Every structure is written in C-alpha cells, then in structure tokens.
Amino acid sequence: MKVFTYERARTPAEAATAVMRVNGARFIAGGTNLLDLMKLEIETPPHLVDVNGLGLDRIEATPDGGLRVGALVRNTDLAADARVRKDYGVLSRALLAGASQQLRNKATTAGNLLQRTRCPYFYDTNMPCNKRSPGSGCSAIGGYTRGHAIVGTSDACIATHPSDMAVAMRVLDAAIETVKPDGSTRVIPIADFHRLPGNTPHIEHTLAPGELITAVTLPKPVGGKQFYRKVRDRASYAFALISVAAIVQPDGRGSVAVGGVAHKPWRLPAADEQMARGGKAVVDQLLAGAKTTEENAFKIPLVQRTLDAVLAEARKG
Amino acid sequence: MDELDINQTRRDLLIAGALSATAAAVPSVAAAQAAGTTRNETPTAPVTSKVALTVNGKQRELNVDTRTTLLDALRENLHLTGTKKGCDQGQCGACTVIVDGRRINSCLTLAVMHNGAEVTTIEGLGTPDKLHPMQAAFVKHDGYQCGYCTPGQICSAVSVLDEIRKGIPSHVTGDLTTAPLLTEAEIRERMSGNICRCGAYSNIVDAIVEVSGRKA
C-alpha cells in the first residue's frame, strides 16, 4: 500500500473542503472496497478523509412520505430497518443478497453506490485496463467475458457495476443528495448518477471533484409486490451473474431494473411498459441491441427466465 | 538453498522492512490539515498516527503507520495472534473480530479509523481454562480440522446468534416483516463469510445449533 496521510472530518462541508486540499485525496467510510484496492495499488490516494464521524447515519421520514437514508447508514441497518422491510422490500432483499454479514456491517449506503467494478482485468495490474490506466486498452474485450456487460458497453470497456443495492434503488427511483466543496447542495436522480463507459470508463459517476454524498432519498412507497432475484455461481456471498429487481402491481404493471448486464443498473421506461405482457416482451425492449459474446450470451435468456419466475410468483395469491 | 533457508530469508526481510518503516516515521497527521492550499505531492515517508482503543476490555494506545489494518495492529502491535490473516481481502473471514458489538473483517479496515472502539478478539471471548460456550461447542462437535479459520468462525458464530436475537434478517429469511427464525438454513447463510478449507461446515453448524439452545 502506498503511503498516505489521514484526517477525520467533523462536518460534511469540512470533509468536502478537506478532500480538495490534496490532489487525489479520497473519502473513506466503510473502506471495504477502497482498502482492498489500495492494497493492490489500484487506488493510490495520498490522503484519506475519514467521514465516519459526520453523523450521516440516520434513516428519517421525508415530508412527502418517503425515506431519507443517511450516506453512512450501514448496509446491515438499512436492510434491517422496519420501514424498509415493510415498504421497500426490494431494497432489503438486494442488500441481504450482497456480500457477507461482516462486510454489510461496515459497508455504507454511499460507499455501496460508489464501489468499483469486480472485472478481473481491472484487478489484474499486469493487464491493460482503460478504467485503471486510461488509454491502456481493454483486456476484457477479446478476453474471458462470462461476467461482463452486454448492454451500454463501449469499445473502451465492458465492465459491470457490481452493486445489488443500486439495482433496487434504481427500480425505486431513489435520488442522491450531495454537498460540494463550495457548500452548495444538489439532488441527482439515480438514473443520472452512474455513467456508461463511453471513452472515459474511469469516470464512473456524475459527482464533481470533492462532492460528497450526504443521503439517498426514497420516494413515497409505491406498494405492489417487490422482488430481488439474484443469480450467481454459489448460493451466498458471490457477485451476480445477473439480478432482477422488480415491483409488480396487482394489475400486472410495474417496473424492472437489472444488474450484472451493464456499467450501471439497467432500466428502460419502454421495457417497464411491457411488464403486463411478460418477460419476453420486457427483455426484447430492455436488452435490445445487446452485444454478447459466446461466453455471456446466456445472460439474455437468464434475465428473461428470472423475470418470468418473478412475474409468476407475483401472480400467486 | 533448502526450504529452511528460504523461510529464514523471508523472515529476516520482513523484520528489516518493519524496522526501517518505524525509523522513517516522522510526519504527523496534522501536517495535512495545516495546509490551506492544494497539496500535490504524495507523502514519501511512512506517516504514523496515534489511536486509542479498548481490546478485550483493556485500554490500549498505539502509534501506528496509517496503512496498518486493524488486523495487523492486533497481531503485530498488540501480539494478539489468535485473529488470523487468511486472504487479507475480506473474502475468507479468518480475520473476523467483533468491533462495537458487530463482527467485521479486520483486514479491510484501518486501525486509525477505530479510535475509541471496543474490540473483542478470540482471546477476549474465552481462555483455555474458561472456554466461551461457542469454543466448547466447537471442540465438542469437532468444528475444525487445521484450526486456522476457527477464531474467525467462532467470532462470527457468536455474532450470528446475537444478530438472529436482534431480529436482523438474512438472504434466506422467508418473511421480511417477521423476526428471522433460528434454523440451519439461517445459520449457514449467515456464516457464508467464513471459509473453511478443511470443510468442517456441518460440524460448525451443529456447534452453533447447540449453543443456540435449540434442539437439533
């Protein structure tokens, strides 16, 4: 691990200012992803600003009947919150499908959104990777691609976003609240938060330098039956091959977001409109134009079958 | 060079590396805070910081390299070698300890991030003369073979029962709106962050079921 200096921030504004003082400085909260990458020297921040003392660890009701989840709420606490379990079941399910209990006890809401891809070529510092060293090339393209993205990809990167939580937040239309180093705040809809790789796969989200996530808000509960179905190589503690987050209303309409297929949680309004017509109609829209390889072409029928299974369960009494 | 010589050389190198790092540790954490403008340079010499934490009920004060994980602080600075380093990347669970009442991977967190924390390691759960009930159950049910993952397994196992008692749901909890049940399926899912290369899993589950008080 490279040498770094360390400080603890006391307020969100102080943290945002502190991180701007040193070029390449990073916030650290749970640290479960950042420290792993620092050990491999994929991340080499010269300075860490510890944001664990900012008090952003509460889940509060919002005036419009939704929930405001502090950036530092641990994955365990968000999944176990009675309001989340009752009204946002897809989010509890997604969180509980991710990582291990030890990691969920540390990992935070904001950190989960910001976690980096688990593309094996990103992790292998002996291989070119446009995300790790911009311009060096993509080893995944033409490499072993079983776990890689099939939609929204570019010639520069075919990595997926690894989060389960973010897929549920996408189907719930969550929004991300931030503070910038100048003290100004803004709200970013989750649809606009993660970026597609394009020519700059190293830029993964729309946060400005020094901008700190303070909370994630969930709109008023939409009811319906909520599902998070994750398909992976073992029954627990593995990243998704694909995952389906769905909310199905009694009349069959609803919304669906998919994980494991793109650089961000994948959802399209045109696909949501097909929900009452079944999995194939949805997937024909959702994964239209998918660029697959022999190794990951299975993801299209797997998404469809998983969604069909979810829709069948929703129809049960 | 025979195998013994290789081991000797590696060990000498590690000790020498540790000494030079300590000797070079000069700049303080405050240095970064003092600067009012953007700093460009990366620190070249190791940076140390003080951290005070309670480990197994004892107040401990350390001056550690900022890069020191909680795991390394426990093992190398406090000589509590019960906690094991397996993968050092949060995948195996051998480093599991209980911090402020919750189990975490001590390899994926920095010691300096735990000022004021209360840490319980396997040494704090029980002693050879007075085993924690979970330790006794692991012995009784043969919940290990080589034993390397066992301290982490036991710290996790103690936490699993605590988490179920507190009503924290898991991936296999059927109904999210009710309290989770104490079943083998729940125990297995909750223990998935602890890998046992010897494959003692079924005996580990038996040990945990026994301590839970539930009839197997």
**Per-residue pLDDT, B23:** 36
In chain A, pLDDT over 70 holds for what percent of residues? 100
pLDDT tens track for A150-201: 999 999 999 999 999 999 999 999 999 999 999 999 999 999 999 999 999 9
Cβ atoms of B79 and B39 within 8 Å: the answer is no
- Please say if the pLDDT value at position A278 is more than 50: yes
What one-character-per-residue DSSP string does A131-165 give? TTSTTS-BSSTTS--TTS--SS--SS-------SH
pLDDT tens track for A37-47: 999 999 999 99
- Please say if the pLDDT value at position B29 is more than 90: no
> How far is A288 from chain B, CA to nearest CA, in Å?
31
pLDDT tens track for A130-156: 999 999 999 999 999 999 999 999 999
Report yes or no: A48 at the B interface, CB cutoff 8 Å.
Answer: yes
**Per-residue pLDDT, B115:** 97
pLDDT band at B5 (very low <50, low <70, confident <90, very high): very low
- Please say if the pLDDT value at position B26 is more than 50: no
Cα radius of gyration rounded to whole Å, chain A: 19
Which chain A residues are Cβ-neighbours of B208 within 8 angstroms? none
Mean of pLDDT over chain A: 97
- CA dist A199 and A66 (Å) reads 37
Cβ atoms of B126 and B135 within 8 Å: the answer is yes
Which token pair is A184? 């100004």
H-helix or E-strand spanning residue A7: strand A5-8
Average pLDDT on B15-22 reads 37
Cβ atoms of A159 and A197 within 8 Å: the answer is yes
- CA dist A167 and A257 (Å) reads 6
- Please say if the pLDDT value at position B6 is more than 50: no
**Per-residue pLDDT, B59:** 98
Average pLDDT on B96-116 reads 98
Which token pair is A17? 């200012």
- Closest chain A residue to the Cα of B24, Cα to Cα: A3
Q: Do B103 and A89 touch (CB under 8 A)?
A: no
More confident residue, B7 or A91: A91
| CB neighbourhood size of A86 (10 A) | 12
Average pLDDT on A70-74 reads 98
H-helix or E-strand spanning residue B49: strand B48-55
The DSSP bridge pattern shows strands A5-8 and A47-50 to be: parallel
Which chain A residues are Cβ-neighbours of B96 within 8 angstroms? 102
The structure tokens 């010589």 sit at: B5
- Please say if the pLDDT value at position A256 is more than 50: yes
Closest CA to A246 of A93, A114, A99: A93
Report yes or no: B34 at the A interface, CB cutoff 8 Å.
Answer: no
Q: Do B37 and A21 touch (CB under 8 A)?
A: yes
Report yes or no: A100 at the B interface, CB cutoff 8 Å.
Answer: yes
- Closest chain A residue to the Cα of B113, Cα to Cα: A50
Average pLDDT on B98-111 reads 98
Q: Between chain A and chain B, how many beta carbons pairs sit less than 8 Å apart?
A: 144
**Per-residue pLDDT, B9:** 39
pTM exceeds 0.90: yes
Q: Which residues pair with A246 in a beta bridge?
A: A227, A256
**Per-residue pLDDT, B3:** 38
pLDDT band at B38 (very low <50, low <70, confident <90, very high): confident
- CA dist A271 and A68 (Å) reads 28
Report yes or no: A62 at the B interface, CB cutoff 8 Å.
Answer: no
- Please say if the pLDDT value at position B41 is more than 80: no
**Per-residue pLDDT, B215:** 64
Closest CA to B78 of B100, B90, B51, B60: B60
- Please say if the pLDDT value at position B34 is more than 80: no
- Please say if the pLDDT value at position A275 is more than 50: yes
> How far is B62 from chain A, CA to nearest CA, in Å?
15
- Please say if the pLDDT value at position A291 is more than 80: yes
pLDDT band at B37 (very low <50, low <70, confident <90, very high): low
- Please say if the pLDDT value at position B189 is more than 50: yes
